[in-house]
Amino acid sequence: MVGRVAFAVPGDLATLTGGYAYDRRMIAELEQLGWKIDLVNLGDGFPRPSQEQRDTAQERLTAIPAGRPIVIDGLAFGVLPELASQLCRHHPLVALVHHPLVMETGLTAAQADDMRASECTALKAASRVVVTSATTARLLIADYGVPEDRIVVACPGTDTVAAAHGSNDGIVRLLAVGAIVPRKGFDVLIGALATLTDLPWHLTIAGDRGRDPEAAAQLDADIMRYGLGGRIAVRGSVSHEHLAELYAGADLFTLASRYEGYGMVFSEAIARGLPIIATTAGAIPETVSAGAGILVAPDDAAAFAAALRRAIENPEERRRMAVSARAAALSLPNWKDSAKLFARALEAAI
């Protein structure tokens, strides 16, 4: 069964983050399966919209013809509980949850409580909830009361790509990809690298610097404080083509995330055969299989530094992990199969 569906996204769909990349690709794949997609831009400000921004989102969502299914990205869905309760009377609603909003680092206890309650209420209005990992599914069942039979896991797909060729100048090229927000743990990564200045490495960071200006300023300050300006390049958002070049030239992928609902950058690194140094936070262990990398507890800078030292000092260890990564890449889901799972959620909602 195929049909017409509204796909509501907060802000610019072209934004260069994993969540938006998932939305873009899923829309394209659903269209390939025959679905007619009406893209609805809910406006900026989410997940902390002003009243004016809420009003804009409400106006655009309530203008959708009655009966038409609506997919709403979780960045907005979770903070629109009243609107979700209103919309579900006239539309099949599908919530797309990349990860619960409360998992963002930096919230006060009161903000976290309010956001959890808001998202919990909103999810009750959803006919189906699409999540991007089994970890998020378990979290929504245990902490948000979402019935298991309403949840569909549609992990991000991975394209077949060439293996990274890496460097050959004796310097181990490290790559970190992610928006500059506290949840990504760049403070832990920089602190760990500050203890490894005796080793030959260079780090490139690619990620949106506009999401959290305070976090971006802190990253710059940390790099300056440790005197690492000559060894760390912060690129900001980069094009898909430039990012592919960065992956190709890297020897090691690293990110000290405090939580990941999936972490598309990890599967992209694995597809290229890159060894990975990361954390056990959230769904990362689902993607980074044993042998493909070293995972340590989040917020443990000493353990992270030890893992980096082990990988940087031992080229044979990196080669072993690279072989494991390329083997693991064979079992990663592809986008077509993930879109079929997403389509099942739409069909069930309808």
- What pLDDT is stored for residue 252 in this prediction? 98
Is 163 within a domain?
Answer: no
- Give the C-alpha separation, 272 to 102, whole Å: 32
Q: Do 129 and 261 lie in a common domain? A: no
- Give the C-alpha separation, 169 to 208, whole Å: 29
Q: Do 205 and 293 lie in a common domain? A: yes
Q: Do 183 and 310 lie in a common domain? A: yes
pLDDT at 92 over 80: yes
Q: Do 18 and 102 lie in a common domain? A: yes
For 6, the token pair is: 């509204």
Q: Do 38 and 93 lie in a common domain? A: yes
Question: Which residues, at least 6 apart from 186, have a Cβ–Cβ distance to it below 8 Å?
Answer: 176, 178, 180, 205, 215, 219, 222, 256
- What pLDDT is stored for residue 248 in this prediction? 97
pLDDT at 104 over 90: no
CATH number reported for the structural domain that contains residue 59 in this entry: 3.40.50.2000
- What pLDDT is stored for residue 17 in this prediction? 84
- What pLDDT is stored for residue 87 in this prediction? 97
Is 296 within a domain?
Answer: yes
Is 164 within a domain?
Answer: no
pLDDT digits (tens, 9 = 90+) for 193-252: 999 999 999 999 999 999 899 999 999 999 999 999 999 999 999 998 999 999 999 999
The structure's pTM equals 0.91
Q: What is the tally of structural domains in the chain? A: 2
Q: Do 178 and 323 lie in a common domain? A: yes
- What pLDDT is stored for residue 1 in this prediction? 75
Q: How far is C-alpha 63 from the chain's CA centre?
A: 30
For 162, the token pair is: 């060439």
Q: Do 197 and 302 lie in a common domain? A: yes
- Give the C-alpha separation, 179 to 256, whole Å: 12
pLDDT at 15 over 90: no
Range of the domain at 266: 172-329
- What pLDDT is stored for residue 82 in this prediction? 96
- What pLDDT is stored for residue 211 in this prediction? 87
Q: Do 219 and 96 lie in a common domain? A: no
